[in-house]
């Protein structure tokens, strides 16, 4: 579609709904073609996308491909490989009281027109991966990229219509006014990734139309480090997980929870790990990202004096650079512990041991992710059984979210619903109950 003025939200939704009503998006062949086209879009324009991600977030090309472009390609490939299986109707046992000739099963029906609203931190992956699921499930989709990553938003708004069926997929760019206007329309599902304040706005707007909603939110994801653990390995993995994308990752370890002796031993190892990864001057490392904007830069630098600086602590507003920073002796009620950090600051909070760590976590909002570094099966089992979080990672941060066959999503304040792989089909479909009794 070529419009001189942007199409109004109501018109876009009506146009996509009309397409959905024709049944065009339902055949598996249409879905697979769209997914293959999306894959072509990513492989043919990876460099453009990576450049936009560098403009918006200072993302290195390596990181852009690994965490956004190749990540999405993998999700597409996995979906193409398994879609026929996932869509197969599933027979259920028929109860005796209906007679021997009754068959019952469930089948997935597409929902209709889906709205995907994405955030700025992984502005390509977090827009496109839900779109993969919505298309695989046979829906029409409106994709709303984040206005806070404007270069990526512009590239996606140009590319998506060039590759996908424009009668069934539309991109609406914009910020609060545009999103507010979209949310006034009736959708069949809204998939929102971002913060809980806007999550509540989305949920309220959806309630008007009884639209089901997935909320992929954030929060403070703790990392518990047990005594008697290989702390050099822990420091290396924590550092990689925390400072990827300059800490602007929803499942980044937000803070470390450990006993005082382990904290003391871990501090120098974290400093070493930061040095090994980004050199003595991370500002000069091509692999280290920047803060999205001045507002977040100011918020984050305001948290830098929440504890004793182990490594980092420096910043440069003009470059939106904040060094990878580890803070020790952080009080549980210090400013850095009062909100999700969402930046390159890793506070270490000490507790007396396992029981207090579990209480500390359970006293707060349910996190999106919980990481446990422990050699003890009993300790690992206790975290699994006694805490609640969107996901649980033993020994390795972030990695669970790269597994397409695991559901990705939060619980409580960290969100509702989930996606990836088969879970995206579940999210973007209605599982219809069917009964069939012959007319004899
Ligand atoms: P953001 O500011 O880009 O907002 C997300 C989306 O909401 C954008 O598309 C924006 O246009 C829209 N929006 C903003 N204000 C709105 C309003 N008043 N009405 C309607 N729409 C509005 O991103 P953000 O919220 O700053 O993202 C950071 C948060 O997202 C963090 O809390 C992070 O943990 C969370 N997050 C979660 C996941 C996940 O998968 N669970 C992934 C990434 C980020």
Verify that 231 and 157 share a domain, yes or no: no
Verify that 262 and 384 share a domain, yes or no: yes
Verify that 208 and 306 share a domain, yes or no: no
Radius of gyration of the chain (CA): 23
297 Cβ partners below 8 Å, 6+ apart?
291, 315, 317, 320, 322
Instruction: Tell me the residue range of the domain where 387 lies.
Output: 222-402
What gap in Å lies between CA 334 and CA 120, rounded to an integer?
27
Sign for the CA dihedral angle at 306, 312, 317, 320 comes to: negative
Ligand 1 centroid from CA 125, angstroms = 14
340 Cβ partners below 8 Å, 6+ apart?
218, 219, 220, 254
Ligand 1 pocket member 182 (CB < 6 A): no
Verify that 152 and 262 share a domain, yes or no: no
Verify that 230 and 207 share a domain, yes or no: no
Asked if residue 356 is part of any domain, the answer here is yes
Neighbours of 342 (CB within 10 A): 24
The whole-number pLDDT of residue 4 equals 60
Ligand 1 pocket member 144 (CB < 6 A): yes
Ligand 1 pocket member 118 (CB < 6 A): yes
Ligand 1 pocket member 248 (CB < 6 A): no
Helix, strand, or coil here: 178? helix
CA distances from 92 to 105, 240, 433 (A): 5, 45, 10
- Residue pair 133/207 in contact (Cβ under 8 Å)? The answer is no
Ligand 1 centroid from CA 415, angstroms = 12
Verify that 35 and 117 share a domain, yes or no: yes
> Looking at ligand 1, which residue's alpha carbon is closest to its atom 17?
176
Partners of 431 in beta bridges? 108
CATH number of residue 276's parent domain: 3.40.309.10
Sign for the CA dihedral angle at 229, 233, 239, 245 comes to: negative
Q: Which atom of ligand 1 is nearest to the CA of 122?
A: 43
Angle at CA of residue 230, ends 225 and 236, nearest 5°: 80
Task: State the ipTM, two decimals.
Answer: 0.94
- Residue pair 306/328 in contact (Cβ under 8 Å)? The answer is no
- Residue pair 325/267 in contact (Cβ under 8 Å)? The answer is no
- Residue pair 242/346 in contact (Cβ under 8 Å)? The answer is yes
Ligand 1 pocket member 343 (CB < 6 A): no
Verify that 168 and 34 share a domain, yes or no: yes
Verify that 430 and 387 share a domain, yes or no: no
Ligand 1 centroid from CA 66, angstroms = 22
The whole-number pLDDT of residue 203 equals 98
Verify that 204 and 230 share a domain, yes or no: no
Asked if residue 4 is part of any domain, the answer here is no
Per-residue pLDDT of the chain (440 residues), as tens digits, is: 444 677 899 999 999 999 999 999 999 999 999 999 999 999 999 999 999 999 999 999 999 999 999 999 999 999 999 999 999 999 999 999 999 999 999 999 999 999 999 999 999 999 999 999 999 999 999 999 999 999 999 999 999 999 999 999 999 999 999 999 999 999 999 999 999 999 999 999 999 999 999 999 999 999 999 999 999 999 999 999 999 999 999 999 999 999 999 999 999 999 999 999 999 999 999 999 999 999 999 999 999 999 999 999 999 999 999 999 999 999 999 999 999 999 999 999 999 999 999 999 999 999 999 999 999 999 999 999 999 999 999 999 999 999 999 999 999 999 999 999 999 999 999 999 999 999 98
Ligand 1 pocket member 365 (CB < 6 A): no
DSSP state letters, 186-229: --SEEEEES-HHHHHHHHHHHHHTT--EEEE-----EEEE-TTS
Verify that 256 and 380 share a domain, yes or no: yes
Percent of the chain's residues with pLDDT above 70: 99
Ligand 1 centroid from CA 380, angstroms = 32
- Burial (CB count within 10 angstroms: exposed 0-12, middle 13-18, buried 19+), residue 333: exposed
Asked if residue 409 is part of any domain, the answer here is no
- Residue pair 127/148 in contact (Cβ under 8 Å)? The answer is no
402 Cβ partners below 8 Å, 6+ apart?
71, 74
CATH number of residue 78's parent domain: 3.40.605.10
The whole-number pLDDT of residue 440 equals 82
Verify that 98 and 25 share a domain, yes or no: yes
Ligand 1 pocket member 191 (CB < 6 A): no
Q: Which atom of ligand 1 is nearest to the CA of 145?
A: 9
**Which residue from 155, 133, 119, 153 is spatially nearest to 245, judged by alpha carbons?**
119
Tell me which H or E stretch contains 180: helix 176-183
The whole-number pLDDT of residue 7 equals 85
> Looking at ligand 1, which residue's alpha carbon is closest to its atom 18?
176
> Looking at ligand 1, which residue's alpha carbon is closest to its atom 16?
176
What's the domain count of the chain? 2
pTM, entire model: 0.97
The whole-number pLDDT of residue 430 equals 98
Asked if residue 93 is part of any domain, the answer here is yes
Ligand 1 pocket member 324 (CB < 6 A): no
Asked if residue 407 is part of any domain, the answer here is no
Catalytic residue numbers read: 216, 250
> Looking at ligand 1, which residue's alpha carbon is closest to its atom 2?
119
The whole-number pLDDT of residue 156 equals 98
């Amino acid at each position: 579609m070529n419009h001189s003025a942007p199409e109004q939200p109501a018109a876009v939704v009506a146009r996509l709904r009309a397409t959905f009503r024709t049944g065009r998006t339902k055949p598996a062949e249409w879905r697979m073609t769209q997914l293959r086209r999306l894959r072509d879009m990513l492989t043919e324009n990876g460099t453009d996308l990576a450049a936009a991600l560098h403009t918006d977030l200072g993302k290195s090309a390596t990181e852009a491909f690994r965490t956004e472009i190749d990540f999405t390609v993998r999700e597409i490939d996995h979906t193409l490989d398994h879609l026929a299986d996932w869509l197969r109707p599933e027979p259920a046992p028929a109860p005796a009281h209906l007679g021997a000739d009754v068959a019952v099963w469930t089948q997935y029906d597409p929902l209709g027109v889906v709205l995907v609203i994405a955030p700025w931190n992984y502005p390509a992956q977090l827009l496109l991966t839900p779109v993969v699921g919505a298309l695989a499930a046979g829906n029409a989709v409106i994709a709303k990229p984040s206005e806070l990553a404007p270069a990526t938003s512009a590239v996606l708004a140009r590319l998506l219509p060039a590759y996908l069926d424009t009668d069934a997929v539309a991109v609406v760019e914009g910020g609060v006014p545009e999103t507010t206007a979209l949310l006034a329309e009736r959708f069949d599902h809204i998939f929102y990734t971002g913060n809980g304040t806007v999550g509540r706005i989305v949920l309220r707007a959806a309630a008007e139309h009884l639209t089901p909603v997935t909320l992929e939110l954030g929060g403070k994801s703790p990392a518990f480090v047990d005594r008697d653990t290989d702390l050099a390995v822990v420091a290396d993995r924590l550092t990689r997980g925390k400072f990827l994308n300059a800490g602007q990752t929803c499942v980044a370890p937000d803070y470390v929870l450990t006993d005082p002796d382990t904290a003391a031993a871990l501090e120098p190892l974290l400093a070493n790990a930061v040095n090994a990864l980004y050199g003595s001057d991370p500002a000069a490392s091509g692999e280290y990202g920047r803060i999205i904007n001045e507002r977040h830069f100011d918020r984050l630098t305001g948290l830098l004096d929440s504890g004793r600086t182990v490594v980092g602590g420096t910043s440069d507003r003009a470059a939106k650079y904040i060094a990878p920073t580890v803070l020790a002796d952080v009080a549980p009620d210090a400013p850095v512990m009062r909100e999700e950090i969402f930046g390159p600051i890793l506070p270490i909070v000490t507790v007396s041991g396992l029981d207090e760590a579990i209480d500390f976590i359970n006293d707060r909002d349910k996190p999106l992710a919980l990481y446990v570094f422990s050699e003890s099966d009993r300790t690992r089992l206790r975290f699994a059984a006694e805490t609640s979080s969107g996901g649980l990672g033993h020994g390795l941060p972030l990695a669970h979210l790269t597994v397409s066959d695991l559901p990705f999503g939060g619980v409580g304040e960290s969100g509702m619903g989930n996606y990836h792989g088969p879970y995206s089909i579940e999210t973007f479909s209605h599982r219809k109950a069917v009964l069939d009794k012959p007319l004899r």
